[in-house]
């Protein structure tokens, strides 16, 4: 009579987050990933400041104008590219929804290791790509407006990109992190945390930095206030 041998124990399936984290390249350097765009942004700011010459008051309007355009682009790109499969850009949606949103959920936002910066920051080449896109725009602005206005716009756009990276990183730090002593930062994190709810991510809270165009377009979501019994 054959004796049935016990089946070998099943290996537990890795969590979705662990499965996503397993795709991070072995030689990945979190410090370099964060330092490189920051250094490039600082270099562009320093170069623009050095090249400025006799800035007129009206040219200073390039700073708020560029910021407004940056908030608008951030909202549009997050909504229409990162959460919708646009032609030729589907890989960006795939990376965002199948990696970033799977790894970080509304009730589990915090980084567990520095290596998970790979899942928070934009791809390592992004800063160079952003600069390559901005330079011809700045050249056009110099022809249409003025050289100093173009330099101010270029510097503001790069500062926005670096600020985006650092703010997004801050939102994925533990809730008890001392960075949340910075006024307003906890509220911005909460705005972004709600976006990480799968039920909300395709419709609400697309601005990552400041929810300017979420307010403009009516896509800013917050829970209704509780009413007393």
pLDDT (tens digit, 9 = 90+) per residue, 135-149? 999 999 999 999 999
What's the longest Cα–Cα distance across the chain? 98
Q: How confident is the model at residue 85 (pLDDT cuts 50, 70, 90)?
A: confident
- Nearest-5° angle of CA 219, CA 224, CA 226? 165
- Dump the DSSP string for 11-33: PPPPPHHHHHHTTS-TT--HHHH
- The token pair at 128 is 């160079």
pLDDT(64) > 90: yes
**pTM passes above 0.75:** yes
Q: What pLDDT score does 97 carry?
A: 92
As a whole number, mean pLDDT of residues 3-26 equals 69
As a whole number, mean pLDDT of residues 152-180 equals 97
């Amino acid at each position: 009579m054959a004796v049935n041998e016990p089946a070998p124990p099943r290996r537990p399936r890795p969590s979705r987050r662990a499965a996503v984290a397993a795709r991070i390249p072995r030689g990945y350097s979190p410090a370099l990933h964060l330092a490189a765009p920051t250094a490039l942004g600082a270099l562009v700011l320093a170069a623009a400041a050095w090249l400025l010459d006799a800035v007129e008051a009206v040219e200073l309007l390039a700073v708020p104008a560029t910021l407004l355009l940056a908030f608008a682009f951030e909202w549009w790109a997050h909504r229409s590219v990162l959460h919708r499969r646009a032609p030729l850009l589907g890989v960006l949606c795939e990376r965002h929804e199948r990696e970033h949103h799977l790894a970080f959920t509304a009730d589990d936002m915090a980084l567990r290791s520095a290596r998970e910066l790979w899942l928070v920051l934009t791809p390592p080449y992004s800063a160079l790509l952003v600069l390559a896109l901005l330079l011809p725009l700045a050249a056009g602005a110099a022809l249409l407006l003025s050289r100093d206005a173009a330099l101010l716009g270029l510097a503001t756009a790069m500062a926005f990109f670096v600020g985006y990276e650092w703010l997004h990183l801050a939102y994925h730090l533990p809730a008890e992190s001392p960075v949340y002593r910075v006024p307003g930062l906890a509220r911005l994190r909460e705005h972004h945390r709600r976006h990480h709810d799968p039920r909300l991510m395709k419709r609400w809270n697309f601005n990552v930095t400041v929810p300017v165009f979420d307010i403009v377009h009516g896509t800013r979501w917050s829970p209704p206030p509780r009413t007393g019994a």
